Amino acid sequence: MTLPVELLQRRGGPERYDVVVVGAGVAGLVCGAVLARSGARTLIVEAGKRPGGQLQTVSHQGWAVDTGPLVWDAIGTPEVLSSIGAEGVSFGTFHERDVLRLVVAREGGSAFDPLRMPVPGKGTSPSMLDAIRALYGVPPRIFASLGEVYQELDSASAEQVDAWRATSLGDFAAERALEPLVTAALKRSATLLGALAPERASVALLAQHARWLASPKAPGLMAAGDGPVAGTRGVVQALVDACIDAGADLRLGTRATGVALDRGRFVKLDVRREEQGFADEVLADQCVLAIPRAQLAAVLPRAVVAGLDAALPRSVAWGGLGVAWALRELPALRDGSDAAEAPLVRLVPPVDSATAGTLATPATLFWPSVVAPRVAPPGGALLIAQLALPEGSTTDALEVGRQLVLLRTLVRETYPSLFEKLEWERHWLSVAGHPDPFEAPSLPAVVPGCRGLLLAGADVVSSTLATGVAAAALSGKAAAERARSRD
């Protein structure tokens, strides 16, 4: 048998770029777009078949279901998108104080109807005192002392807030010798706002949320709206279009397998193209690793990873359980009010976190169809719930099943008519879940001891107090500007 000549030809030498970006999540796509718009020959490689990283949308029976982060920190995100020409993306913006409702999740049902979070340090009516005791488990005197702490957070200078970045709530309480009940209430407040590990929550990020709560109605949170493509897929598509329009090359299904260094300087990236099944290499002057910290070990030399692990605190790892409910119409809350008035509901464990039969961590319920009607067919409504689970719990079928049953019970308790209007229900698990929104990022912007190797993503420390999607977008832009300044 004789093979065609073209199959016998040797592949050409490795390609050369100015910058190669690893990861086509928000950070990588923003970085690639900024670099390409500045004239740099840029390649973005992504191991997955879809870009977007944790921002993913799946289509199911005509509904657009976001399986990634539902609500984002709004700091800097619209400005970053505008700077790279990602036009046509719309967002729903919220003030946390106006949209957030809290429900204490007890076995067999909730403790009370969805409640606005009482703002520590602000006037509280007598009718709120019972709710405060249920939410915080403290008498009004302790809640007033907690208010004094929040007033300090709200009035702190920018320099002081910056100094609090790496200070945990546990250390903060110890430094000020807060009495135990006030310390417990402070950590409880972080839990109510969404912290997964309140002992480790950054004081700076809690101070940021305190300012949002006390400020006028300037939006502090945002979610994907109805752009040309509904859901977060529309945001990802806008980022991809910005990269392509700027001239960047994007290769999906191309896994980075290692970097090569010459006397400490980056020289090439080893990759494997999944479809062809062969190894390849890319020469470039610089490389930006826009991937989560947990994935760095697969790319960086072992000694470099060991140095990072030894020098930086290890983050708590989380998995996640997601559930989507498609409904024929929007149901009312248990107290009869419109669900659209509370698009964001947080189910939180009782004050005694050891209580059996309660959620392991706070669960977030969000109505994307309130913000972006086109994610559902006309007249339909979509509710998405996400529950963070400690590392390893997503492989425990019994625990996942128990949490799912409890979550469904509490959703039925919060929205009594929901299951009467149900079209379908869908579940999914994420082994590597979303990071704790209150944990301060710890990765440096440049890989220590390696020239030409930069880092980007939500894990990277930046000059702006942002988390999640916003932190990733800002970090990607900063990494691109840093790479260009080193030419």
Residues 9-38 pLDDT 10s:
344 556 899 999 999 999 999 999 999 999
156 pLDDT more than 90:
yes
Whether 150 and 182 have beta carbons less than 8 Å apart is answered as no
For 228-279, how does the pLDDT look when each residue is reduced to its tens digit (9 = 90+)? 888 899 999 999 999 999 999 999 999 999 999 999 999 999 999 877 767 8
Q: Which residue has the higher pLDDT, 295 or 315?
A: 295
Q: Describe the crossing of helices 203-214 and 140-155 by its angle, rounded to 10 degrees.
A: 100
**Does some domain include residue 102?**
no
Q: Decide: helix, strand or coil at residue 87.
A: coil
Q: Where are the beta strands (DSSP E) in 99-228?
A: 100-106, 109-110, 221-224
Region 107-119: mean pLDDT is: 83
Region 147-171: mean pLDDT is: 94
54 pLDDT more than 60:
yes
**Does some domain include residue 260?**
yes
**Does some domain include residue 183?**
yes
Which two structure tokens, joined as six digits, stand for 255?
A: 């896994």
Question: Quick one: pLDDT at residue 5?
Answer: 39
Residues 270 and 374 both lie in one domain: no
102 pLDDT more than 80:
yes
pTM: predicted TM-score of the whole model, two decimal places = 0.93
C-alpha span between 360 and 387 (Å, rounded): 8
**Does some domain include residue 223?**
no
Region 429-441: mean pLDDT is: 88
**Does some domain include residue 17?**
yes
Residues 259 and 350 both lie in one domain: no
Q: Range with the lowest mean pLDDT among 131-135, 252-256, 409-413?
A: 131-135
Question: Quick one: pLDDT at residue 486?
Answer: 73
Give the length of the chain. 487
pLDDT > 90 fraction of the chain, expressed in percent and rounded: 69
* CATH number of the structural domain spanning residue 384: 3.30.190
C-alpha span between 274 and 279 (Å, rounded): 9
Nearest Cα to 419, choosing from 432, 430, 407?
407
Number of H helices, E strands in the chain: 15, 19
What is the Rg, in whole angstroms, of the alpha carbon atoms belonging to the chain?
24
* CATH number of the structural domain spanning residue 21: 3.50.50.60
Instruction: Tell me which of 430, 451, 467 is where a domain ends.
Output: 430
Q: Confidence band (pLDDT; 50, 70, 90) for 355?
A: low
Question: Quick one: pLDDT at residue 274?
Answer: 78
Mean pLDDT of the chain: 90
7 pLDDT more than 50:
no
Residues 329 and 414 both lie in one domain: yes
Question: Quick one: pLDDT at residue 366?
Answer: 96
Whether 361 and 433 have beta carbons less than 8 Å apart is answered as no
**Does some domain include residue 408?**
yes
Residues 84 and 167 both lie in one domain: no
Question: Quick one: pLDDT at residue 445?
Answer: 96
Q: Confidence band (pLDDT; 50, 70, 90) for 217?
A: confident
Residues 160 and 257 both lie in one domain: no
Residues 321 and 301 both lie in one domain: no
**Does some domain include residue 243?**
yes
135 pLDDT more than 90:
no
Q: Confidence band (pLDDT; 50, 70, 90) for 451?
A: very high
87 pLDDT more than 80:
no
143 pLDDT more than 50:
yes
Whether 281 and 270 have beta carbons less than 8 Å apart is answered as yes
Question: Quick one: pLDDT at residue 123?
Answer: 63
Residues 264 and 328 both lie in one domain: no
Residues 294 and 323 both lie in one domain: no
Region 431-445: mean pLDDT is: 89
Question: Quick one: pLDDT at residue 165?
Answer: 93
Number of compact structural domains in the chain: 3
Residues 306 and 325 both lie in one domain: no
Residues 310 and 321 both lie in one domain: no
Q: Decide: helix, strand or coil at residue 91.
A: strand
Q: What is the 3-state secondary structure (H, E, C) of 8-23?
A: HCCCCCCEEEEEEEEC
C-alpha span between 444 and 304 (Å, rounded): 13
**Does some domain include residue 110?**
no
CB within 8 A of 300, min separation 6: which ones? 258, 259, 289, 308, 447, 453
Question: Quick one: pLDDT at residue 350?
Answer: 87
Instruction: Tell me which of 159, 181, 214 is where a domain ends.
Output: 214
Instruction: Tell me which of 168, 190, 214 is where a domain ends.
Output: 214
C-alpha span between 173 and 191 (Å, rounded): 16
What's the domain range around 352? Answer: 317-430
Question: Quick one: pLDDT at residue 51?
Answer: 97
Residues 383 and 455 both lie in one domain: no
Region 442-448: mean pLDDT is: 94
Question: Quick one: pLDDT at residue 90?
Answer: 86
For 454-481, how does the pLDDT look when each residue is reduced to its tens digit (9 = 90+)? 999 999 999 999 999 999 999 999 999 9
Q: Which residue has the higher pLDDT, 219 or 268?
A: 268
118 pLDDT more than 60:
yes
482 pLDDT more than 70:
yes
Residues 340 and 287 both lie in one domain: no
